Structure formats: structure tokens, C-alpha cells
Amino acid sequence: MALNLWRCVMKRAEARWCLYRSLYNSSHGFNESEVKRKLAELSGGSVKLCKGENGIAELGISNSSRKNALSGTMMLELEERISDLEKWKEGKGLIVYGTEDTFCSGGDLNTIKAISNAKDGLMMCMFMQNTLTRLQRLPLISVALIQGKAIGGGAELCTACDFRLMTEGSEIRFVHKHMGIVPGWGGASRLIQLVGSRQALKLLSGALRIPPEHAISIGLADGTLSSAADSALEEAQKWITPYTKGAANVTRAMKKLIVCGREHLFEDAIRKEKDIFATVWGGPSNLQALSERTKYN
């Protein structure tokens, strides 16, 4: 009886701690079923989840013909995998990685072109902000394993993890300015939290390449992996182990403390990011950039 009561108290506390509350719902004009229907039409690639016996899950972003760019269906799969992880009570850690030689090259430009009007762009923005905020709030210690490029939305995705490990020659780059837009998946608000407003302004307004050594020096990355591509995941597992060792409920409680401490006043900032995103999305610079399909080699 006492245990059930304790469980009920904890459930209410978690709800109060905003651990599982989405940022946007119908009161914000967010029509989730409508945006899911639209994204389901834009296919390609996959997002796979493997939950380990050791309490560490691996989430793999895969769209090999498009450098792991996130198509509409991949955005939906990402949300489904995160829902799965929210229910995984034995979970302690999570490694997010891209298959082959790239982390993620951002939104799939074919998907982005199909939703370049103001309404669809805003719906996608709110869907991805909900999804990446839930990723960030998971009671799991999360690591983005960056091999190759993390470009645009891919750079934003990696900021939603607690830590970032980069392999030699990899690069994080917020290329949004060259697309005539600003980050919209919450990446700007999280980058400011990670590196401070001055560094964030340089990285965003300069669309600067961020190699491993620079990322570490400004506090964006937490380590470099020297391993070859096929053993990077194994090395990331070793890196995360000291932080996930021990009882799952304690590790999860530690992460919950961090989430609650970090988010005070955060929701205001991220909602303003959405409003600013709406002023440039689908505008002349954005449409021009989409027609040029610049390569950021």
C-alpha cells in the first residue's frame, strides 16, 4: 500500500517537474495530428532504437543516401523512439549516433522544400521543439556521438543531448544563416545554455565550422574519440559507463535534478526562438538558399 502511495506521489511530482510535458499543444495553435499527417507523406531513412541490458540505449539516425538528413517520417520515428525511452524505467543512458560517416546533415531538403510555407514550417518547428525538448528531458544520461558532420538541424539535435563526443575530423556547424533562417528546433536556446551568449552569437551569425578541439575549448563537446568508425560506439559506451554505473533509479534521479535546475525560465526563451524562427522561415533568403542547395563541404 505504502509503495503504491509513494509511486503515485512520484508520478505527480514528475508531472510537476515538467519532465514529460510538451512545450506546445492545441492552446498554442499546435495541431499534432495534422503535422504528423503531413510529415508522414515525406519519407526516407529510419531512426532505430536498441535498448541494452546494461541500461544504455543506442539511437541510430540512418538516411544513407542523404547523409542522415531527417525526412518527415524520420522526424516521426524520432518522436516514437523518445516516447519509448520515456517508458523505459530501467534506462540509465543513451547514445545518439548517425550511421556510416555522418552524424546528421539536418532537415532533409526535400522535406524542407515541401513544408517551406509559413504554416507548415511553424508546425514542423513546434513538433521538433517538442521532440528534442523531450529528448533533453529524458531521465537518462545522453551522449551525442558525432562522426563526420552535424550540420544545421543535425547541430541542433546534438545540443539536445547532455554530452557530445566527437571523432577526429568531425564538425558541428549551424549553417542556418546561409539558409536564410535561424535555428528553430531549440538549438539556439540550448547552445546559449551550453557555451554562453557571446560564443553562441559567433557560432550562429558566422555559421562557423566547429572542429573537436574548438568544441572542447568552448565547452560544447566533452571529449574526442580516436577510434575507427566501427568501434566508436563501443568507445562511447565505455565513456558513458562511469556516469551510469549503479542503480537505475539513482542515475535517473540525478538527471531529473539537472533537468529541473536547468529549465527555470527556459520555456520562455525557447518560445521566443519559435517566434523569431517564424519571421524568416519561407522568406526570400530561405527560398533562395533552398533553390541553390549549397554544399558545406
Q: Which residues bind ligand LZKTLF4L (CB under 6 A)?
A: 66-67, 69, 105-110, 112, 149, 151-153, 175, 179, 181, 184-185, 295-297
CB of 251: closest distance to ligand LZKTLF4L in angstroms? 31
Question: Coil, strand or helix: which one is 264?
Answer: coil
For residue 16, the minimal CB distance to ligand LZKTLF4L (Å) is 31
- Compare residues 130 and 244 and give the one whose CB is closer to ligand LZKTLF4L: 130
Beta pairing class for 209-210 and 171-173: antiparallel
User: Measured from the CB of residue 175, what is the shortest distance to ligand LZKTLF4L in angstroms?
Assistant: 6
Please say which residue, 27 or 297, places its beta carbon nearer to ligand LZKTLF4L.
297
- To which residue does cell 559506451 refer? 237
Q: How many Cβ atoms from other residues are within 10 Å of residue 210's Cβ?
A: 24
Using DSSP, state whether 241 is helix, strand or coil: helix
- Residue number, 82 or 151, with CB nearest to ligand LZKTLF4L: 151
Residue 97's DSSP bridge partners are 60, 145
Question: In residues, how long is the chain?
Answer: 297
User: Quick one: 223 or 283, whose CB is closer to ligand LZKTLF4L?
Assistant: 283
Contact between 106 and 185 under an 8 Å Cβ cutoff? The reply is: no
Q: How far is the CB of 69 from ligand LZKTLF4L (least distance, A)?
A: 3
Least distance in angstroms from the C-beta of 150 to ligand LZKTLF4L: 10
**Residue 129 or 199 with smaller CB distance to ligand LZKTLF4L:** 129
Contact 59, 79 (CB under 8 A): no
What does the alpha-carbon distance between residue 133 and residue 152 come to, in Å, rounded to a whole number?
17
